[in-house]
């Protein structure tokens, strides 16, 4: 199962709600975010501001593909957590076990052809630009300590162009398109309930 969506679309909340319908042994999750090439320790704060993380070339997609294949073959994987270029954070070593449901999520999962071909159920989380921007700003300013100017620079020059080039073209080929403009948690809870019910009926 592939979950794709632009920054601020609500992928994280969708996944949180979805995972609540299953036990840890029934579902495993692999996030594209954990496959960024590590670059933070080589950059100044100014260089980090201008570095474009919203390009497929920033992802170690060979490693990403190999780990997905391992999980599909019933093998556990070990992966160092990505700490969003925070040199002060100590990354955890993640052990991901295979499960009947494998979720792959990220911005470029449909753009990476091999990964896209492995996905049986493609879900696109969509949101209006202005709503997505406000969610992104809230995260970047409160959780990651960016200034408003830095966050806006990244949105205008990196985030929005990448979404239009590397994700939006695949929207209409997805099995489900979920428009997430609401600020009501119940709306997403309802949708994840329906999808999980269908999957449980097919798999268990």
Per-residue pLDDT tens digits for 2-57? 999 999 999 999 999 999 999 999 999 999 999 998 876 677 777 877 889 999 99
Integer Cα distance of 173 and 24 in angstroms: 30
Name all domains of the chain by residue range, CATH numbers in brackets.
2-203 (3.40.50.300)
Instruction: Write down the pTM of the prediction.
Output: 0.90
Q: Which residue has the tokens 């709503």?
A: 131
DSSP calls for 68-113: HHHHHTT--EEEEPP-TT-TTS-PPEEEE---SEEEEE-SSTTTSH
Q: How far is CA 154 from CA 33, 96, 115, 140, in A?
A: 17, 31, 26, 10
Per-residue pLDDT tens digits for 111-141? 999 999 999 999 999 999 999 999 999 988 8
């Amino acid at each position: 199962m592939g979950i794709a969506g632009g920054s601020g679309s609500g992928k994280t909340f969708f996944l949180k709600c979805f995972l609540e319908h299953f036990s840890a042994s029934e579902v495993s999750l692999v996030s594209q975010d954990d496959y960024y090439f590590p670059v933070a320790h080589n950059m100044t704060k100014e260089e980090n501001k201008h570095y474009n993380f919203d390009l497929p070339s920033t992802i170690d997609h060979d490693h990403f593909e190999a780990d997905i294949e391992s999980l599909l073959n019933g093998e556990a994987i070990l992966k160092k957590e990505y700490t969003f270029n925070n040199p002060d954070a100590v990354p955890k070593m993640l052990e991901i076990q295979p499960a009947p449901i494998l979720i792959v999520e990220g911005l470029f999962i449909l753009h990476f052809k091999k990964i896209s071909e492995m996905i049986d159920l493609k879900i696109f989380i969509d949101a209006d630009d202005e709503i997505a921007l406000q969610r992104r700003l809230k995260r970047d300013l409160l959780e990651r300590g960016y200034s408003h100017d830095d966050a806006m620079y990244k949105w205008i020059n990196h985030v929005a162009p990448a979404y239009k080039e590397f994700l939006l073209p695949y929207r209409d080929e997805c099995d489900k398109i979920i428009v997430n403009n609401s600020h009501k948690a119940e709306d997403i809870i309802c949708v994840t309930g329906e999808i999980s019910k269908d999957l449980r009926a097919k798999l268990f």
